[in-house]
Structure 1
Amino acid sequence: MSTLGILAVLALLYWLLVTLDSIRGLRLLHALPRAVKLPDKPPLVSVIIAAKEEESTILDTVQHLLTQHYPRLEIIAVNDRSQDATGTRLEELRRWSERKEGIGIPLRIVHITNLPDGWLGKNHALYQGYLQARGQYLLFTDADIIFSPGTIADAVAYMQEHEVQHLTLTPNMIAHGALLRGFVHFFLFAFSLFVRPWRANDERSRRQGIGIGAFNMVNRSAYEAIGTHKAIALRPDDDLQLGIALKRAGFKQKVLSGKHTLQVEWYRSLHEAIRGLEKNLFSGFRYSYLFALAACLGQLLFFILPWLGLLLLWDWRGAAFSVCVMLQIWLYRQMVARMIGKQASEAYQLPVSAALLLYTMCRSVWLTWRQGGIYWRGTFYALRELKRK
């Protein structure tokens, strides 16, 4: 058998296996249900937001949180060394909320001016927010998320009914323009095949955990038991690592779709998306060049080569690659629809999106190696310290 024939067989086996696993897994992934009833004494929830140079989005996020229907809520917004008007906007919003009738949700602002050694800025900001929080439940969220009014009430009701210590939600991801939308959806697709998020819903396993930055709600005692954000102080993928740590510690975890309750415009342009992912893709490979190489080769073999095989081959190898492409398209549409509620009509862009992600992965590794670390929101973090942590 030729080398190309072997590659065709490998690709076909991969897509058959991953499709079977994903079909079973997607059955475990449901949308967050509406709360039928809250407990008589609902627990206090502390919403903690880290914001750095977020003047264009932070007001919408906090204002939507101030309209939540949940009766016991506090919001702690942490201004992490912002050089723009983020801090000013937050203080103005705090004063407005205190004067506004009908808003009974306290809003506290924490201003950070210095970053201690051994911390990534966002992780340190979230930890400082935790130190100010009084809630039994802690909700870590990003500064650009839009919440529907019943989101937190629905989440608390679900956690209490199902005795869940950690709940994370996938948001509806807004992307303007076909190329950007295809890239964002493909990243979600490839990431999901890599981490298998639905496995977090399997209570028999402690291996597969997940956390999503848009919505990480955790029982306070569970968060403290894993060492808080101190345990992941230098992880750029702090949201994912938080979920992994909680699952491995044996806490009950659920990942649900928040497609009807949360939305985020992750990136405003394709260039911004590629630049944004540069900082943390290499961390997903544990800063291992060998692991990164394997991931890049897998991206080339399983996601890109089958499309090229359609153009170059007219024999059984071409037929094998055709099946790979059909499975890839079908599974992509199913996964995007289940997780974020989109029809994924841009599936025809899959080879382009896969090539763009491959480029981003390679660039992330190369830039981290060349710089000796990563730049994130204006702060440099050395690779040797990132690997040590």
Structure 2
Amino acid sequence: MQNLAEFLLVINLVILAITFLNTFTVRVVKSQEMPDLHDLVSILIPLRNESQNVPGLIESVLSQKGLSKFEVVLIDDNSSDDTAAQISKYSAPNLNVISGAALPDGWLGKNFACYQLAEKAEGEYLVFVDADVRLAPHAVSSSIALMKHLDWDFISPYPRQIALTFLERVAQPLLQWSWFASLPLRLSEKLSRPSMVVANGQFFIVKRAAYLKSGGHAAIKSEVLDDLELGRTLVRNGFSGGVADGSKVANCRMYNNAAELIEGYSKSQWRAFGSPFGAALAALILFASSILPITLGLSGEIFGWYGYFALVASRLLVAAKTNSVMSSASLHPLSAGVWIYLIILSWYRKSRGELIWRGRQI
């Protein structure tokens, strides 16, 4: 058992080293005043049953600064709640609202909504924002400024993830930690390989020309992980870009309770690893690196404890860098267990045709 504990410690020290490296090299979108951007910017927001998010959302996007010209385009994607009524309370010269068309065969709802938004948009930059995101006043202008500085065609500023309930605090930080701890970000930028793309559709900016040339959402119309697949499609077509720490300019609370979190992640985890084999391998790696060390430690293997503390340190580094949940870092084995459960549940529901999101079959 000691040999196993030592081996897992080496793995977790590598994870800690990658995390440490990324903490100091990750691109950061800073909340600061920028010279006005003179290109037209289109802020595009898909809405389906988002009544409770409409007020805070619209106020934050209409308050954007540092943009000489920008339009906000909302699409009410056939909501069954009072999203449309909430939207109607707001008016501005640069605010446009469209009603979503019926969902065609072969499309997923959000992808088709984003496609319609892009068709309506007139800007040189397309800024896709989810309804549960709140933007700081210079979020868009600062992000585009960094994008221009790096000569990128797209950028995905990763918002600060807000987690309030127990399961949110246990599970939610793991997603951001997973890429922070496994992928040397500067290397992924240089290699520019689709398999190394990191992206978050909560806040995603792309040059209009790159979006159209790569096929945009029409090229990924049936993909449940639309953010990753859009980024990969852009890279495959020769465009450059990447993820950035957007925690200083945007925040997002994806789910309001445990039930929403389970429903939300179980709809997509089947696709995250490509196949049942890939999902099983990911679950095995997560178990070996995150759960087994503390199990060995509790059985008396001191190197098991060292492996556990290496991952806790990795979690704390990411939390400190992104201003996210620190209190659950010590519960990392539980976080891993929850994520393994979500992977299994997602594949189970997929096999039974039970994946439904916002009233639509996936």
TM-score range normalised by the length of the shorter chain = over 0.9
Which moves more between the two structures, 45-54 or 161-170? 161-170
Which has the higher Rg, Structure 1 or Structure 2?
1
Distance change (3 Å), C-alpha of 1:34 and 1:147:
closer
Q: Check whether the contact 2:29–2:142 (CA below 8 A) recurs between aligned residues.
A: yes
| 1:286-301 alignment runs, 5 A limit | 286=274, 288-301=275-288
Does 2:1 correspond to 1:18? no
Distance change (3 Å), C-alpha of 1:52 and 1:277:
same
Q: CA deviation at 1:193?
A: 3.8
Distance change (3 Å), C-alpha of 1:84 and 1:128:
same
The residue that corresponds to 2:142 in the other structure is 154
Does 2:257 correspond to 1:261? no
Q: Percent identity at matched positions?
A: 27
Aligned residue identity for 1:21: I
Match for 1:334 among 304, 317, 337?
317
The alignment partner of 2:294 has SS state of: helix
The residue that corresponds to 1:325 in the other structure is 308
Q: Check whether the contact 2:60–2:135 (CA below 8 A) recurs between aligned residues.
A: yes
The residue that corresponds to 2:64 in the other structure is 68
* Partner Cα separation in structure 1 for residue 78 and residue 325 of structure 2: 39
* Partner Cα separation in structure 1 for residue 268 and residue 179 of structure 2: 13
TM-score w.r.t. length of structure 1: 0.87
* Partner Cα separation in structure 2 for residue 50 and residue 205 of structure 1: 29
Q: Check whether the contact 1:200–1:209 (CA below 8 A) recurs between aligned residues.
A: no
Q: Check whether the contact 1:201–1:255 (CA below 8 A) recurs between aligned residues.
A: no
Distance change (3 Å), C-alpha of 1:15 and 1:375:
same
Deviation per CA, 1:292-340, whole angstroms, max 9, x where unpaired?
Answer: 111111121111111111211x2xxx122112111101011111222x2
Match for 1:367 among 344, 349, 352?
349
Match for 1:52 among 48, 53, 58?
48
Q: CA deviation at 1:6?
A: 5.3
Q: Check whether the contact 2:247–2:323 (CA below 8 A) recurs between aligned residues.
A: yes
Q: CA deviation at 1:256?
A: 1.6
Q: CA deviation at 1:343?
A: 5.9
The alignment partner of 2:193 has SS state of: coil
The alignment partner of 1:259 has SS state of: coil
The alignment partner of 1:62 has SS state of: helix
* Partner Cα separation in structure 2 for residue 231 and residue 282 of structure 1: 20
* Partner Cα separation in structure 2 for residue 199 and residue 362 of structure 1: 32
Match for 1:271 among 259, 262, 279?
259
Q: CA deviation at 1:113?
A: 4.3
Does 2:311 correspond to 1:311? no
Aligned residue identity for 2:28: A
Q: Which has the higher contact order (CA 8 A, sep 6+)?
A: 2
The alignment partner of 1:56 has SS state of: helix
Does 2:28 correspond to 1:31? yes
* Partner Cα separation in structure 2 for residue 169 and residue 119 of structure 1: 26
* Partner Cα separation in structure 2 for residue 343 and residue 166 of structure 1: 28
Q: Check whether the contact 2:22–2:180 (CA below 8 A) recurs between aligned residues.
A: no
Q: CA deviation at 1:254?
A: 3.4
Distance change (3 Å), C-alpha of 1:91 and 1:31:
same
Distance change (3 Å), C-alpha of 1:197 and 1:51:
farther
Which moves more between the two structures, 207-216 or 196-205? 196-205
Q: Check whether the contact 1:26–1:198 (CA below 8 A) recurs between aligned residues.
A: no
* Partner Cα separation in structure 2 for residue 374 and residue 154 of structure 1: 37
Q: Check whether the contact 1:15–1:328 (CA below 8 A) recurs between aligned residues.
A: yes
* Partner Cα separation in structure 1 for residue 169 and residue 242 of structure 2: 27
The alignment partner of 2:249 has SS state of: strand
* Partner Cα separation in structure 1 for residue 218 and residue 325 of structure 2: 40
Q: Check whether the contact 1:274–1:360 (CA below 8 A) recurs between aligned residues.
A: yes
Distance change (3 Å), C-alpha of 1:34 and 1:333:
same
Q: Check whether the contact 1:169–1:256 (CA below 8 A) recurs between aligned residues.
A: yes
TM-score w.r.t. length of structure 2: 0.93
Match for 1:188 among 173, 176, 194?
176
Does 2:119 correspond to 1:131? yes
* Partner Cα separation in structure 2 for residue 347 and residue 18 of structure 1: 15
* Partner Cα separation in structure 2 for residue 270 and residue 199 of structure 1: 35
Q: CA deviation at 1:148?
A: 1.0
Aligned residue identity for 1:265: R
Aligned residue identity for 2:269: L
The residue that corresponds to 1:384 in the other structure is none
The residue that corresponds to 1:198 in the other structure is 185
